[in-house]
Amino acid sequence: MTRRTLLGACVAAAWGARLPWPLGANTAIEGYGLLDAIHTVKRLGFSALEFHTMGVPEPTPGRFPGFQFDRLDDGQRRLIRRALSGFRHLTAHLPYTGLDYMASEADARTVEIAMDGAAFFGARLAVLHPQPVTLSPRYLARFRQWGDRARGLGLRLGLETGYPRSVREFVSLIREIDHSHVGATIDVGHQRRYAELIAKVKPEDRATPEGIRAYNDTTLAIVEQLVEKVFHFHVHDIDPPTWDEHKPLIHGFVDYPRLFAALRRIRYQGVLVLEIGGPAAEIPGHLRDAKQKLARQMPPR
């Protein structure tokens, strides 16, 4: 670790200790190498980081950096572990592109190898996208099986909002899985197609105060119904007229003071991870700005 990254880690530890919840960022910076992305998040003073257990470590135009655990040699594993040192909280995002883990045992094995990699590098939570399939006993059994695997690895699984496409069905999925190590990752931008929200807001009304409040109501409904099963959060901003997600914190669409009050009520114990998209050159500035804004809006510890 260089003096600069060591200083960043020390600043992160001191700064993070003053916040009620750890605040981090992910390594999803297009065109970066994995080590460069990790060091960028560290230099910005974040106490938490989320890495991708998919992709490749080398800089690749148009792609986020990451790794496939079974394709890393011992030297690569040592370098990644060293880069991740200094973060107080690590989470991982499991593969989600081009996989059908309910139909393909090979794809299911890909997820399991990724879980092994997440645990190897010190993550304590792994994010997984539910598949858009009909809820069935086999579907629930798959998640319970992976919940058992996660428990053995020292992980928890956070199923990310987006599918099923309603508050009622998503909450039902988490409750019916009924596993101590399987809960929810709530992404503040993944509720745009939820049935309850579409029923309330016409497309032309998205940017109105009523439309914005309805969107925030939808996210809060998940929090308030799942309570202790809310394991993790992805945070960013939303473009008001389009409801496009993963924007810098410049629109004020997400009502963070209201969300933070709800997290305090449910005694949330997880991490808040920034997921902001855009040109790679702009991401460090966006992350720095978002970090400052969210810290100001958080309630006292």
Q: What is the pTM of this model?
A: 0.92
Q: Which residue has the tokens 């539910």?
A: 130
Task: Report yes or no: 221 and 236 within 8 Å, Cβ to Cβ.
Answer: no
Do residues 248 and 205 touch, judged by C-beta distance below 8 A? no
**Do the Cβ atoms of 19 and 270 come closer than 8 Å?**
no
- Residue 133 is predicted with a pLDDT of 83
Instruction: Quick: pLDDT tens for 83-126.
Output: 999 999 999 999 988 899 999 999 999 999 999 999 999 999 99
* Residue found under tokens 């148009």: 62
pLDDT of residue 8: 47
DSSP designation for 129: P
> How many of the other CB atoms lie within 10 Å of CB of 122?
16
Alpha carbon distance 50, 28 (integer Å): 9
- Superfamily name and number for 3-297: Divalent-metal-dependent TIM barrel enzymes (3.20.20.150)
CA–CA separation, 64 and 33 (whole Å): 8
Task: Split the chain (301 residues) into runs of 10 and give each run's mean pLDDT.
Answer: 49 58 96 97 97 96 95 98 97 93 95 98 98 89 97 98 96 97 98 97 98 98 98 98 97 98 97 97 97 93 76
Q: Where are the domains of the chain?
A: 3-297
Phi-psi group of 159: left, alpha or beta (phi > 0 → left; psi -120 to 50 → alpha; rest → beta): beta
State residue 11's pLDDT score.
Answer: 46
Task: Decide: 203 and 242 in contact? Cβ < 8 Å.
Answer: no
The answer to whether the beta carbons of residues 256 and 294 sit under 8 Å apart is yes
**The predicted structure's pLDDT at residue 209:** 98
CA 87/CA 27 separation, integer angstroms: 13
Are residues 275 and 234 in contact, defined by beta-carbon separation less than 8 angstroms? yes
- Coil, strand or helix at 296: helix
pLDDT of residue 2: 53
